Amino acid sequence: MGKTKTKNQKKGREAARRVAEETFSTVPHTFVFQRGQIGRNVGQLVLDMRRVMEPFTARSLKVRKKNVLKDFVAVAGPLGITHFSIFTKTENSINMRLARLPKGPTLYFHVAKYALIKDVISSLKRHRMHEQQFSHHPLLVLNNFGTEGMHIKLMATMFQNMFPSINVHKLNLNSIKRCVLLNYDPVSQEVEFRHYSLKVVPVGMSRGVKKLMQEKFPNMSKLEDISELLMKGVNLSESEAEQDGDHNITELPQVYSGRGNMASQQSAVRLTEIGPRMTLQLVKIVEGMGEGKVLYHSFVSKTEEELQEILKRKEARLKEKEERKRKQEQNIALKKEKRDQNKKRSLEGIKRKRPQEGQVSDDEVEDPGIPEDQAPAEESEDEAEYYRQAVGEEPDQDMFPSAKRKRGPGKSPIPFKKRKLSPGKGPPHNKKSFKSPDRGSKDGRKRFGDRKPLEGRNRFRKSEGGKKFGQKGGKGSRFAGQKKRDAGKKFGGQKSFKGRAVMKRQKGAGGKKDLKHKKEKN
């Protein structure tokens, strides 16, 4: 079972966390990204530069095609980003821009040569790179940047501000694991960019003792005594011979990680390149963030008169912009004033149309509605009574739903029931009922009730002269003696029912036929 944390350990870790947060917010941070189509190799170069700038950079920054530079500037403030490193590619060259947020300056570099991390590692026999090296920022070393020239000093300042500054008196040597070297060549005016891994080894001892202090213990199976290893250095290759000199030997002020690196003792600092490499050439320096006055240009030089002319044109554009802005503000103010005047005149016209000054009409009064604690009032019967007196008729039920229907004297309040009609009387609209004896006797036609009942079940039998469905005519018809001439009769002499309109048409057609026959005889 593990030990529980003590009170002092918790306090110490909390204090260290607060200090780390404060330090993280004060150091510079850099965005490394690309703009446009750059290809696979330059894309890998962007990722390698992010490794160089770790841990104070966005390692997994995602860039989309629709993103513009303003998008990165907008998020840079809340995230504490101080610098941009932007890579672009054209048909002829690869370019890199270093920009200081939020107001510049911006340095434009031409990448003459470059090599990726994988290319550098593949060229070395033994490389030394691990993840612990990238937990701390690299140490920046500048060489030959002290020459005269405003652009050289500005370039050196830009590189210095991209990496955290160090305090020599409070620096912990164990946090220095990497080194970035920038060397300026005054003849070619190029900047060499190199990235190294740093290692410290003790000096002043024999090769055998160094071998014992290494992580891999030497093979001593062929030795009779350990003194042979310490005194003679048997079975050690010549490549392990000491190649350090005065150029890389120093006295350590602190205990450094590694065996034998004690304080106040001689140790050698060894560098192993881990990449990437770049050869940069400064093209120009712009005053603002991607735009503004050109402070330096390596290919184009202008006289003092041309510079003054450029400044005058720029001032004229700024004045014109201010004038447009002032006119826009005046137009907005005039429109607002005119809108307020129209609104005021409208309100005055509404007041003049009222019958009395200060009196509010019934139409404009808002109905407060029925209070929640008050029941709705019942509608009076006076309106229904007034309607009866004025019109002389009973109002409809939907007109006054709450008013009771007025009944005559002596009548029961029970609602009317639908009465059955007697057999000898017709309906209220004086039409003959279906059950009346004289219905259908107008034209001498038979009613449905006058049909003769069918006698027995033997009328469908074959012995009685019935025919099959396929046979036509004949004396013994299947349907009990039905004849062709009796086309209107069915089921034993029953006439088919026809409407009045059909009967009238047939009667009229028959009359015209008889009249035509009489005329022919005459």
Q: Report the C-alpha gap between 35 and 45 in whole angstroms.
A: 13
Using alpha carbons, select from 104, 95, 106, 82 the residue that is nearest to residue 36.
95
Q: Report the C-alpha gap between 117 and 277 in whole angstroms.
A: 8
**Both structure tokens of 357:** 């000054």
Q: Output the pLDDT for position 482.
A: 47
User: What is the DSSP-derived secondary structure letter of residue 275?
Assistant: S
* Model pLDDT for residues 1-56, shown as the tens digit of each residue: 456 667 788 888 888 888 777 777 889 999 999 999 999 999 999 999 999 999 99
pTM exceeds 0.75 for this model: no
Contact 269, 198 (CB under 8 A): yes
Does the pLDDT value for residue 377 go beyond 60?
no
* Model pLDDT for residues 235-287, shown as the tens digit of each residue: 444 334 345 666 778 878 888 877 667 777 788 888 899 989 999 999 999 99
- Is it true that the peptide bond before 55 is cis, omega within 30 degrees of 0? yes
* Model pLDDT for residues 321-361, shown as the tens digit of each residue: 999 999 999 999 999 999 999 888 888 888 887 755 555 55
Q: Report the C-alpha gap between 285 and 152 in whole angstroms.
A: 11
Q: Output the pLDDT for position 152.
A: 93
Strands 266-273 and 178-185, by their bridges, are: unpaired
Helix then strand then coil, in percent of the chain rounded to 5, is: 35, 15, 50
Q: Report the C-alpha gap between 329 and 366 in whole angstroms.
A: 41
- Please give, one letter per residue, the 3-state secondary structure of 45-113: HHHHHHHHHCCCECCCCCCCCCCCHHHHHHHHHHHCCCEEEEEEECCCCEEEEEEECCCCCEEEEEEEE
Q: Report the C-alpha gap between 327 and 323 in whole angstroms.
A: 6
Taking residues 425-446, what's their average pLDDT? Answer: 51
User: What is the DSSP-derived secondary structure letter of residue 132?
Assistant: G
Of residues 82 and 441, the one with the higher pLDDT is 82
Q: Report the C-alpha gap between 46 and 57 in whole angstroms.
A: 12
Q: How many residues does the chain have?
A: 522
User: What is the DSSP-derived secondary structure letter of residue 134?
Assistant: G
The model's confidence at residue 96, banded by pLDDT at 50, 70 and 90, is very high
* Model pLDDT for residues 465-475, shown as the tens digit of each residue: 444 544 444 44
**Both structure tokens of 88:** 């672009």
Q: Output the pLDDT for position 284.
A: 94
Q: Which residues of 418-428 are buried (b: 16+ CB within 10 A; e: fewer)?
A: eeeeeeeeeee
**Average pLDDT in the chain:** 75
